[in-house]
Amino acid sequence: MTDPFPPPGYVPAQSRLDGIEIFMPAPPESLPQPEVVDFKCPQCGAVTAFSASDGGLTCSHCGYYEAPEKAVVGQRADQFEFTVETMQRAAQGWGAERKELACQDCGATTTIPADSLTHTCTFCGSNKVIQRQAAQEILRPRFLIPFKIEPDACQKIASAWLGSSWMTPPALQKLAAIAKFNGLYLPFWTFGATTRAGWKAQVGHPRTERYYDNGEWKTRTVTDWVWESGQATLQIEDLLQPGTGRLSARLLKEVKSYDLSQLAPYEPKYLAGLQAQAYDIPLEKAWDSGRQEMREETRQACLSQASTSQVRSFSMNLDFADESWRYVLLPVYLATYTYEGKPFQVMVNGESGKISGQRPADWNKIWLVIALLLAPGLLLGLLGLLTIPLAGAGLAIGGFGFILLVIGLVIAFILYNKASALDDL
């Protein structure tokens, strides 16, 4: 029995010569995707939503449960190259316009941001995942890390976090009214590249020498500057850069420690009942930031090769190779809480539970601590001034007081900055 020709999975391709037939691998299933995917319970027709505990779909109405299909690709997830075409089209983005969405369940028409990937109808509560046309197929989100932390767990994490700092009001943990944590998939770019650098610099080698001056021998340190050069090659993988500029960069930076080995292929069901955003920082801009981080890392690697830490006239040529990128969605929970009528924002990593956010500072407590820090120095200084007539003892006490004051000022300055940053975004 002869094998069929062409073998399964191959489709005809265009041939430029008569008498030669060509077959190519069939492109990945490109079934027509509905622009909006509704998640309804097949039993009772109620709304189903993604469950972070095990990755399945659950119906809160009748208890229907759809088991998850775990498909983790991790760092094997496809990466794309910076082709000329991609770079040109990635820059187009999805703009800032809004789009009208007609709910197929209740018929209500809602206006949603053009870059929303999900929507919950405000009238009937149905969960929808919007699969709009991207500027280019590869600019669709292809991978994501599913939520692993339940919203309830976030409440506990936030509560513990609110009470974890002595700089916050003692009643914060009890009185803070934390609103519901909303799961949100944020767009991120991951970048990989090999950096090859050749560097050259003058490296200083300090040495001590003796010299004769004014009739006596003295020592001094002189630096001999020697040219050194070297080469460094770094393979940088999965450098994360935010794809959105609408959230606090500080909070994002503090929670963005994701385990990319948990990347899974994008499925609309992961977004059911959650919010998701498309990127608003285009690929090229994010790559500019990523490249700056990579070259700085490479520069540090070159500098570490120098035989001492004293370096001047440093120059290096850096060549990027095998540059690649991915567009991924990563899970965070967002919530606001109010304390004494003022709103504060909290962000929780939906995978690891790492938390970051704003907290009110208890300035009474902080000023008190600062006063306590400065008091010993001031008091001893004052005592030193009063006891100056006692000659040596007064000077010693005053000097000691001055040292304590300086130390107190430094610690107070650090404390003040830290407390000021507590409610920063």
Partner 1 sequence: MSDIEQTISKVPAEIAPFPHLAETWDADLAPLVCERCDWTFLAPASPTAARCPHCHQAELTPLNNTEAEYTIPTPGLAQPDLAPPEQVIPFSLSPTSLESSIQSFAREIPFAPGDLNPRQLRSRLQAVFLPMWLVDAEVQATWQAEAGFNYEVVSHQDKFEENRGGWSTRQVNETKTRWEPRLGRLQRNYQNIRAPALEEHNLLQAQLGPFDLGQAQPYQKQAIQSAMLRLPDRTTQDAWPDAKPAFQQAAVEECRQAIGADYIRHYSWQAEFHKQNWTLLLLPVYTTYYLDDEHKPQLVLLHGQSGKTSALRRASLKRAQRTSITLLLIAAVLFLLSLAVSTASIFLPPALAIGVLGIVAALLVGLGALIPVATVWWFNRSQTK
Closest separation in Å from C-beta 22 to partner 1: 4
- Report if residue 15 touches partner 1, rule: CB under 8 A: yes
CA angle (416 as vertex; 414, 417 as ends), nearest 5? 65
24 binds partner 1 (CB under 8 A): yes
Residue 77 DSSP code: S
Q: Of 314 and 367, which CB lies nearer to partner 1 in the complex structure? A: 314
Of the candidate residues 64, 65, 225, 320, the single one contacting partner 1 (CB under 8 A): 320
CB of 315 to partner 1, least distance (A): 5
Stretch that binds partner 1, among 47-55, 75-83, 120-128, 350-358 (CB under 8 A): 75-83
- Amino acid making up residue 102: A
DSSP 407: H
- The first and second tokens of residue 34, run together, are 């509905």
Stretch that binds partner 1, among 51-59, 92-100, 271-279, 319-327 (CB under 8 A): 319-327
Residue 186 or 201: which CB sits closer to partner 1? 201
CA angle 74-79-82, nearest 5°? 155
User: Contact between 317 and partner 1 (CB under 8 A)?
Assistant: yes
Check: CB of residue 405 under 8 Å from CB of residue 377: yes
Alpha carbon distance 69, 146 (integer Å): 12
Helical H runs in 274-361? 283-305
Query: Looking at 56-64, 82-90, 358-366, 376-384, which segment touches partner 1 (CB under 8 A)?
Result: 82-90
Cα–Cα distance for residue pair 177/173, rounded to 1 Å: 9
Among 46, 73, 167, 318, binds partner 1 (CB under 8 A): 318
Q: Which of 37, 72, 87, 112 binds partner 1 (CB under 8 A)?
A: 87
- If one asks whether residue 313 binds partner 1 (CB under 8 A), the answer comes out as yes
Half-sphere exposure in the Cβ direction for 103 (13 Å, CA): 21
- Binding of residue 81 to partner 1 (CB under 8 A): yes
Contact 252, 347 (CB under 8 A): yes
- If one asks whether residue 6 binds partner 1 (CB under 8 A), the answer comes out as yes
Q: Residues 68, 147: contact at Cβ < 8 Å?
A: no
Minimum distance, C-beta of residue 246 to partner 1, in the bound complex (Å): 27
Binding residue for partner 1 (CB under 8 A) from 1, 4, 20, 389?
20
Q: Alpha-carbon distance 117 to 86, whole Å?
A: 21
x/- contact string, 201-220, with partner 1 (CB under 8 A)? x-------------------
Residue 263 CB neighbour total at 10 angstroms: 25
Residue 363 interacting with partner 1 (CB under 8 A): no
Which residue in the set 40, 140, 250, 295 belongs to the binding site for partner 1 (CB under 8 A)? 295
Nearest to 130 by CA among 90, 98, 89: 98
Contact window for partner 1 (CB under 8 A) among 77-85, 118-126, 166-174, 258-266: 77-85
CB of 13 to partner 1, least distance (A): 7
Stretch that binds partner 1, among 2-10, 223-231, 341-349, 406-414 (CB under 8 A): 2-10
CB 350 within 8 A of CB 52: yes
Of 410, 404, 417, the closest CA to residue 377 belongs to: 404
R_g (Cα) of the chain, nearest Å: 31
CB-facing half-sphere around the CA of 176: CA atoms within 13 A = 27
List 291, 326, 354, 359, residue binding partner 1 (CB under 8 A) = 291
Task: Look up residue 112 and give its amino acid.
Answer: I
| Residue 307 within binding range of partner 1, rule CB under 8 A | no
- The DSSP 8-state label assigned to residue 277 in this structure reads B
Sort strands 109-113 and 98-102 into parallel, antiparallel or unpaired.
Answer: antiparallel
66 is written with which tokens?
């759809």
Which range touches partner 1 (CB under 8 A), out of 19-27, 226-234, 260-268, 390-398?
A: 19-27
Name which position in 1, 67, 84, 177 contacts partner 1 (CB under 8 A).
84
Shortest Cβ 207–partner 1 spacing (Å): 24
* # residues contacting partner 1 (CB under 8 A): 36
Tokens of residue 303, six digits: 């500098």
Question: Which residues contribute to the site for partner 1 (CB under 8 A)?
Answer: 5-7, 10, 13-17, 19-25, 81-84, 87, 201, 291, 295, 299, 312-321, 323
